[in-house]
Structures are given as C-alpha cells and as structure tokens.
Amino acid sequence: MNNYYAILASLGAAVLLSPEITVLGLVAASDRKHPRTFAWAFGIGTIVGLAFALVIGFLLAQTHGTTTHEHQGTWLGFTVRATIASALLVVGMYRLVNAIRNAPIEKTPEQVERSFTHRLGRWFQTTFPSIAKRFDGSIEISTTKRAIRWGLLGFACDGLHPKIFPIVTAAGHEALQVSEPRERLIGIVMFAVIALIPGLIPAVVETVHPGVSARLKEVFESFMKRYGRLITAAFILAVAAFVGNNAKNDMPGRESAEVPAAVATENAPVGTAKAPAPVH
C-alpha cells in the first residue's frame, strides 16, 4: 500500500511542478480589472479538469479489474498499463530534455508560428472571423464571458493538456489498484490536494495579497526554468518505470515470482515424508 501512496504523491508533485498551470493562473490573477474573479474561475476550471482526467483513469482501471489481485494477467491489462507507462515516459523525457537545454517555459515566437495550435487558430480566424474576434481580444466582451473563458482554460490545463493529462490519468488508474476503499480514498484525496495547488494558489495569493501575482510570475518562471522541470522529470520517469514493471507482470502467461504456500505443498516431491504427529 505504501508503494501506491508514494506513486500517487509523486504524480501529484509532477502536476504541482508543471509550470504551465501556475504561469497561466498567475496571468489570470494579473488582470488589471478583475484579477480575483478570473483567478478563481481558472482555479475552479482546474478542479473540474482534474476530476475529468481522474475519471478517465478510473475507467481504464475498470476495463481490466479494479485491483491487481482481482484479475489474471490479460493482454488488455498489459496494453492499458503499457500505454500509460509509455505516455509518462514521453512526458518525462520531454521535460528532462527541456530542463537540460534550459529551454524557456513559454514558447518563442518562432515556435509558436510552427506549432499546430497556431496553424489551427489561424485557420479558425480565416474560416470563422466573427467568432474568432471574441477570443483574440480585439473586441470587448463581458466579465462573465471572460471568466468562463478562463474557466475553460483551467479545465483544459488539467483535463486535456497533453503533458498533464497522462499524469492525472495514471493517478486515477493507480488509485484503483488499492483494494481497501478507505485507503483508496485517502490516496485520491492526497493526490488531488497536491495536484490542485498550482491551479488554486494564484487565486489564494491574489485574494490574500492583491497585486502580488505579477511579481510571483517572474520568480516562479525563474525557479522552474532552473530546477522545477528536472525534479518533475525525475518523478514522472520513476512512476513510468513502476507502471511499466506492472505492465510486464500483467502479461498473460507470466508466472508470479511468489508461489503460494498451497501450490508449493501440492507440487512437493512425492517421496517427501511428512513429520510424524506427536504421540501423547
């Protein structure tokens, strides 16, 4: 059980140290007109997004049994675990390479121009110009609509982001490997509390100390560029190795390393004599 607590805590820390979430939350909290409103909208969006990705992880775990003791090794279970481990490996290596290269957290203009998201946005602006104006800031929209936009962005960060979604999904999958319901709930709550810190801390800071968010953004980016992504990569790669090992053990036909006592007795040599019963 302690292994699963450690895995869930590591995955929570990987989300906690993901720079994208905190940076966007601090940007929302730096708004000149309604910083507190937009920061909380973003934070609530991250809660919903985290819950969404966790549910996906729960469903993946349910496809091949909720705990490691409830099912024999199956190709479906192996495929699910191997896919999660591979996704974590890709995310971990991506963060490790960026940390070693000391790459900027925010994309350069050249990288933005080459990205698929930018090309898709340019196509959308050309095809639907009237709708695109509501999102590019060229026309003034109501505070409610801007808050909804920040909420959707928060949801996308924790629920859809390709570098966060595999981590949260893996947490949901690993949480359901715990057979005891109470311990499982404790693990899920522990992960959620850690993982939601980057989405909620900008709102809390802006509520307690208004106007500090802009300065915090520069300090946070400097720290994450130097140390954060390296630590995050270590957490993610460790969990990828753990899930990958479980995938290997889940392969059909693979014998368990531990032989149950009953099986060992049945397979004992025929000539082995039993100890005589004591005579009273």
**Angle of helix 213-223 relative to helix 19-29, nearest 10 degrees?**
160
Instruction: Please report, for residues 55, 150, 260, the alpha-carbon distance to residue 68 in angstroms, rounded to integers and kept in the order given.
Output: 19, 39, 16
pLDDT, one tens digit per residue, over 187-218 is: 999 999 999 998 999 899 888 888 777 777 77
pLDDT, one tens digit per residue, over 54-103 is: 999 999 888 765 544 444 567 777 788 888 889 889 988 988 888 888 77
What pLDDT sits at residue 232? 84
pLDDT, one tens digit per residue, over 212-257 is: 777 777 777 777 767 777 888 888 888 888 888 877 876 766 654 4
The token pair at 173 is 């999958």
The token pair at 96 is 């490790």
Task: Look up the pTM and report it.
Answer: 0.71
* Whole-number Å distance between alpha carbons of 202 and 23: 9
Question: In the chain, what are the domain boundaries?
Answer: 2-252
Torsion of CA 69, 72, 76, 78, to 10 degrees: 70
* Whole-number Å distance between alpha carbons of 19 and 224: 7
